[in-house]
């Protein structure tokens, strides 16, 4: 996984009744754009994320 500041992280839900989460990547702490990422989620909370298999990066501007 590769990301830059400003990209979006989308984490799909593994439950039918739970929505997916989307947030903006505000810091990339890994080497060469790799995880972990600091993500500002849609509700305003920020957290350090090591994305799992259910997550993908959407480049800024798309």
Our count of domains for the chain comes to 1
Looking at residue 36, its pLDDT comes to: 98
- Number of residues that make up the chain: 62
pTM score of the predicted model: 0.88
32: in domain: yes
Q: Residue 31: helix, strand or coil by DSSP? A: helix
- Domain holding 51, by residue range, is 8-58
Looking at residue 4, its pLDDT comes to: 97
Peptide bond into 15 cis (omega under 30): no
43: in domain: yes
Looking at residue 47, its pLDDT comes to: 97
pLDDT along the chain (62 residues), means of 10: 96 84 97 97 96 94 82
Using only C-alpha atoms, the chain has a radius of gyration, in whole angstroms, of 11
1: in domain: no
25: in domain: yes
3: in domain: no
């Amino acid at each position: 996984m590769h990301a830059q500041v400003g990209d979006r992280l989308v984490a799909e839900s593994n439950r039918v009744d739970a929505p997916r989460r989307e947030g903006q990547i505000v810091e990339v702490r890994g080497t060469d754009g790799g995880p972990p990422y600091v993500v500002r989620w849609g509700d305003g909370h920020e957290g350090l994320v090591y994305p799992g298999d259910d997550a993908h990066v959407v480049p800024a501007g798309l």
